[in-house]
C-alpha cells in the first residue's frame, strides 16, 4: 500500500477522502445540505503500529445545494486486523454548516409532522429524475446512508448512494420525524450494489439519528428490490 507522500489523484488518497465525505455528512448532512468531495490537494499515509494505517489529507468539499466549497484538513485511521471495523475520522467544517437551512428544515418538519406512509420509491428514477418535492428526502437519505457508508469504508472501497429505493415515513416519535429507508449503495471497487435498510429519526434540532442499519442479502437476479414491504 502506498506510504508517505501520496499522489492526490491516485486512488489511495481518493478513497480515504471519500471516507471523510461520509463522516462530514454524518455531522452536517440534512434535507438541505449534502456534502461531496470536490478535490484532494495532498495526502500522506503511514502505518500505525498495531493500529492500522493513518491518512492525513488536505481536501476541498462542496455542498451541492448551496454550491459553496470549503477546504478541510482531515485524518483518517483505517484500523488493521482481520475483521473490518469502521475508520476513525477527524475533520470538521466551519463555513458550510452555517448555510442557512433552518427555515426550510422547519417548514419540512411541520409539513410532515403528522404524516405517515410510503413517500416515494426510486429516487432518482431510471432517467435520473427527482420530483422537486422529494429532493429533500433524497438528500436526507444520503445523509443517513453516510452512517452506513462511513462504517463500511476501508482502503478498498469507494461508496456512493446509487438510489433510494423506498422512503417510508413512520409515526412521528418524540418530536422527531421517523423513517424507514431502503437504499442501494454502490461500491465502485467491487462494482456491487449493496442493499440496506435504515431506520432513523430526523428533526431540525437533532439532525439525523440512526436507530437501526441492516444489510440485506439480495438475489443478483436484478439490481433493485422488486417488492417493498
Partner 1 sequence: MMICSETSLSLAEGLQSTQSYNYTKYHSMDEIYRWMEEVERANPELVSSAVYGHTYEGRNITLLKLGLGNSEGRQKKLIWVDCGIHAREWIAPAFCQWFVKEIVDSYKTNKKLEQMLQNLDIFVTPVINVDGYLFTWANDSTRLWRKSRSPPPQGSSCYGVDLNRNFNANWGMVGASFNSCALTYCGRSAGSEPEATAVMDFVGGMIDQTLCFLTIHSAGQLILMPYGHPEISAPNYNELVSVGKAAAAEMEKIHGMTYTVGTSPQILYPNSGSSRDWARLMGIPFSYTFELRDKGEFSHLLPEEQIQPACEEAYAGALSIITYVHDKTFPDSVPPNAAVTSVSGFAVMILSTIMSVLLTAEVSE
What's the min distance (Å) between Cβ of 86 and partner 1?
A: 20
Selected binder of partner 1 within 83, 114, 174, 226 (CB under 8 A): 226
State yes or no: residue 171 binds partner 1 (CB under 8 A): no
Task: Report CA 165 to chain centroid distance, whole Å.
Answer: 15
224 cis-preceded (ω within 30 degrees of 0):
no
Distance between CA atoms of 141 and 19, rounded to whole angstroms? 17
Is residue 188 involved in binding partner 1 (CB under 8 A)? Answer: yes
Does 14 engage in binding with partner 1 (CB under 8 A)?
yes
Q: How far is CA 189 from CA 37, 118, 122, 123, 156, in A?
A: 17, 32, 23, 23, 7
Could you say which residues in the range 192-211 bind partner 1, by CB under 8 A?
Answer: 192-193
In terms of CB distance, is 193 or 210 closer to partner 1? Answer: 193
Does residue 35 contact residue 23 with C-beta atoms inside 8 Å?
A: no
Residue 135 touches partner 1, criterion: CB under 8 A: no
Q: Which of 3, 5, 10, 98 forms a contact with partner 1 (CB under 8 A)? A: 10
CA dihedral over 201, 76, 18, 70, signed as positive or negative: positive
Nearest Cα neighbor of 35 from 110, 96, 122 is: 96
CB of 165 to partner 1, least distance (A): 9
Query: Contact between 122 and partner 1 (CB under 8 A)?
Result: yes
- The answer to whether 126 and 49 are in contact (CB under 8 A) is no
**Which residue from 101, 146, 163, 168 is in contact with partner 1, where contact means CB under 8 A?**
163
Give the count of beta carbons closer than 10 Å to the beta carbon of residue 148: 23
Query: Does residue 132 bind partner 1 (CB under 8 A)?
Result: no
222 near partner 1, rule: CB under 8 A: yes
Binding site for partner 1 (CB under 8 A): 7, 9-11, 14, 18, 34, 36-37, 39, 64, 121-122, 124-130, 160, 162-163, 184, 186, 188-193, 219-226
Amino acid at each position: 500500500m502506498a506510504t508517505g507522500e501520496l499522489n492526490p489523484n491516485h486512488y489511495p488518497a481518493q478513497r480515504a477522502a471519500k471516507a471523510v465525505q461520509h463522516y462530514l455528512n454524518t455531522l452536517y448532512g440534512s434535507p438541505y445540505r449534502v456534502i461531496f468531495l470536490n478535490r484532494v490537494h495532498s495526502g500522506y499515509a503511514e502505518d500505525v503500529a498495531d493500529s492500522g494505517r493513518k491518512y492525513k489529507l488536505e481536501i476541498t468539499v462542496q455542498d451541492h445545494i448551496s454550491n459553496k466549497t470549503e477546504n478541510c484538513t482531515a485524518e483518517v485511521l483505517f484500523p488493521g486486523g482481520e475483521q473490518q471495523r469502521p475508520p476513525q475520522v477527524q475533520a470538521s467544517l466551519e463555513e458550510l454548516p452555517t448555510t442557512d437551512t433552518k427555515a426550510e428544515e422547519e417548514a419540512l418538519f411541520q409539513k410532515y409532522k403528522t404524516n405517515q406512509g410510503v413517500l416515494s420509491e426510486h429516487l432518482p428514477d431510471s432517467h435520473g429524475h427527482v420530483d422537486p418535492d422529494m429532493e429533500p428526502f433524497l438528500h436526507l437519505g444520503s445523509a443517513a446512508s453516510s452512517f452506513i457508508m462511513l462504517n463500511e469504508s476501508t482502503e478498498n472501497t469507494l461508496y456512493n448512494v446509487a438510489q433510494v429505493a423506498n422512503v417510508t415515513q413512520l409515526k412521528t416519535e418524540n418530536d422527531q420525524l421517523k423513517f424507514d429507508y431502503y437504499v442501494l449503495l454502490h461500491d465502485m471497487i467491487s462494482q456491487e450494489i449493496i442493499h440496506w435498510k435504515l431506520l432513523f429519526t430526523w428533526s431540525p434540532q437533532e439532525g439525523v439519528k440512526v436507530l437501526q442499519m441492516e444489510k440485506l442479502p439480495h438475489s443478483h437476479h436484478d439490481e433493485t428490490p422488486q417488492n417493498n414491504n
